[in-house]
Structure 1
């Protein structure tokens, strides 16, 4: 049996797991340890068994997503005899490193899903028998085809409103008035009435009528919309452990992205590592 440890309250961990399991062609039952409210959505988790902890679980293999010792450094033991696989994405390593236990987990293999900070990469090389990149492929899905601009975010509501405001500011600067559709699990209070709302999952790929894509700079958004980089605009948000600003800068450097607001979006102060750790991707 495959067990996946996906600590975090967002949708990103579960979306990444879907892609990993599809890419590796994992067959058989899957159990996921998560507290994410999105685990209740069958579009996201399908036939996975959702449990609150690893306690009492037997497994052939355990996948540890994103955080090599869990979200708060709580993961020190895994089921005996299980192969241990880590899924590594970019972290704010200086903030996460103090959470590592004195006796860290040792991984049979680590898949690097995007470039890491040098110190992060060095740590994983020391605790992993195998370290290799993995390019993810998502399960097949129908495109999201809407007219005009597509804004994608799973919350919280305040960030969703910021993304919509960002899109409207871009449109105003460019002198255009495109229809805008927000793809989000819920329609946030305060959304402009002219903005349509669509509860759709997965939210990629865009259909042929989509002219612009606006998202935050979470792992999945940057990865999934990479083929549409010329129409993708990113607004990174501060996270306690995920480095959206570095990820956004890398994405902007990979291809044309004439963003009229890129130079005036400041980098907000990072949350303190001891605060509520939101890591939605």
Structure 2
């Protein structure tokens, strides 16, 4: 099969849209496709995204741009890239509706990554009508409002690393700067809104103070931080999934990637259901994972550490299926589907 040019639209705050796009882009590159990603995530500036995509390019739009500026930039990008396929993550009409007037005119294959969205948003903007512009809807491992659509297909969750690519326990703990072989690692993943990142900094400091020598707390923040108080150890690894075998307890939010990575690797998760305009994190989390306050987080982490008798992860490699691989094959199949329509 001839390699194609894919343009991945991954606009939206946080890391979710961008990380899914990289997961798909890596899998597509392995199949000989050339991938370009467009994102407006504030986290994108500090990530080595090009290294993940090989010869692919990453177009970082300013998060402050309004929908008119985004549309203009995207139209220029379409003309320059000349893609065979457009893959849009989550928002069929674009994050701010900027794709709506463009979709009917695009004579290329179009694929929607269809995730859970708040029903009020789906109804208010008539998303059922907009998805008709897409040759395929791919549902990446969790329920979605239009998953019943005749062109919708579900896959397992998409992950930015294959199981065999994860660092082993010893190597991961070295990357996490943990030398004590008996100290379990509690990793606090700081992503989301700026004020939420600051809250995680404070949480990491509180956990380290309260847990003392019972655990090594590590703050994993892919963005620049103004200050990090003692005794917090701050690291900037990305993707965090690569280190997951060295983490005994993961603390974060109920976003798509955090939850799916924890479950795929069997990592105990303590998470806050953050309010989002479109995403419903509370539905993604199990009741046993969800906390609402720092005090609840501390109690839950302490209980998990006690249940593990203070030992770190065993040398058992996780085995999971990465849905991004299947998604690439489904997108390739739209060649024949598009030809018949």
Q: 1:191 to 1:236 in 2, by over 3 A?
A: farther
TM-score by length of 2: 0.63
Gaps of 5+ in 2: 62-72, 179-184, 301-341
The question of whether the paired residues in 2 share the 8 Å contact of 1:112 and 1:133 is answered with yes
Shift of residue 236, structure 1, vs aligned partner: 1.8
1:204 aligns with 2:241: yes
d(CA) in 2 for partners of 1:54 and 1:251? 42
**Residues 13-32 of structure 1 aligned to structure 2 (within 5 Å):** 13-24=17-28, 25-32=30-37
**Corresponding residue number in structure 1 for 2:143:** 116
**Residues 256-267 of structure 1 aligned to structure 2 (within 5 Å):** 261=296
**Residues 10-49 of structure 1 aligned to structure 2 (within 5 Å):** 10-24=14-28, 25-41=30-46, 43-46=48-51, 47-49=55-57
The question of whether the paired residues in 1 share the 8 Å contact of 2:7 and 2:86 is answered with yes
d(CA) in 2 for partners of 1:156 and 1:150? 19
Q: 1:184 to 1:86 in 2, by over 3 A?
A: same
The question of whether the paired residues in 1 share the 8 Å contact of 2:253 and 2:271 is answered with yes
SS in 2 for 1:19: helix
d(CA) in 2 for partners of 1:42 and 1:188? 14
**Residues 109-148 of structure 1 aligned to structure 2 (within 5 Å):** 109-117=136-144, 119-122=145-148, 125=149, 129-139=151-161, 140=165, 142=167, 144-145=172-173, 146=176, 147=178, 148=185
d(CA) in 2 for partners of 1:171 and 1:120? 44
1:214 aligns with 2:262: no
The question of whether the paired residues in 1 share the 8 Å contact of 2:273 and 2:282 is answered with yes
Number of residue pairs aligned between Structure 1 and Structure 2: 255
Larger Rg: 2
The question of whether the paired residues in 2 share the 8 Å contact of 1:149 and 1:213 is answered with yes
Shift of residue 135, structure 1, vs aligned partner: 3.6
SS in 2 for 1:131: strand
Which among 216, 219, 227 is matched to residue 182 of structure 1? 219
Q: 1:175 to 1:197 in 2, by over 3 A?
A: closer
The question of whether the paired residues in 2 share the 8 Å contact of 1:14 and 1:44 is answered with no
CA RMSD of aligned residues (A): 3.4
d(CA) in 2 for partners of 1:189 and 1:71? 29
The question of whether the paired residues in 2 share the 8 Å contact of 1:183 and 1:198 is answered with yes
d(CA) in 2 for partners of 1:171 and 1:211? 14
Which stretch of structure 1 is more off in the superposition, 89-98 or 235-244? 89-98
Gaps of 5+ in 1: 254-258, 266-281
Shift of residue 173, structure 1, vs aligned partner: 7.9
Shift of residue 134, structure 1, vs aligned partner: 4.1
1:249 aligns with 2:286: yes
d(CA) in 2 for partners of 1:42 and 1:164? 20
Relative to its length, the structure with more helix (as a share) is: 2
The question of whether the paired residues in 1 share the 8 Å contact of 2:186 and 2:248 is answered with yes
Q: 1:14 to 1:209 in 2, by over 3 A?
A: closer
TM-score by length of 1: 0.75
The question of whether the paired residues in 2 share the 8 Å contact of 1:181 and 1:195 is answered with yes
The question of whether the paired residues in 1 share the 8 Å contact of 2:8 and 2:88 is answered with yes
